[in-house]
Amino acid sequence: MTLLVAAVIVHDAAAGRVALLRRGENARFAPGKWDLPSGKSEPGEPVSGTAVRELREETGLLVEPGSLEVVHVVHGAWGVEAPGGFLTVVFATRAWEGELENREPGKHARVRWFATDDLPADFVPSTGSALRGYLSGGPRLTLRGWH
């Protein structure tokens, strides 16, 4: 079964920055790497609802589902927590409420704003390619682990 995931690019275009989080050192997937706020969809939950929920749970930022735009899709053949593969729908928003904070310090080492022209190198590859594609107007699809 394919795991459905939502990720959110919170883009403060006026300040030229995006909100990112550093995965904790004990994370099962990509420990210590920077990532977009993201998480698994729950049964019966639309992927846009997953995006809204995970962003709030992880960062404290509140977004309306209508402010989300699908900007990228990542399709992985397999994953650490998804032996049957995963599909990540990457949304972007330029409208939110609240202050960025680490709401899950047991899972994430840190959350912070990064300048869009100075992103960290140690990024989760799939969401990193999605973010770079979004910022550059480049590809909107990333395939991972397919032959």
- What's the CATH number where 77 sits? 3.90.79.10
In single-letter form, the type of residue at position 45 comes to E
Examine the pLDDT at 47 and tell me if it is beyond 90.
yes
Parent domain of 93:
3-144
Alpha-carbon distance of 7 to 61, in angstroms, equals 13
| Average of per-residue pLDDT across 93-97 | 98
Average pLDDT on 58-64 reads: 98
Question: What's the rounded Cα separation, in Å, for the pair 6 and 26?
Answer: 21
Number of domains observed in the structure of the chain? 1
What is the percentage of the chain residues whose pLDDT exceeds 90? Answer: 88
Burial class (CB in 10 A: 0-12, 13-18, 19+), 121: exposed
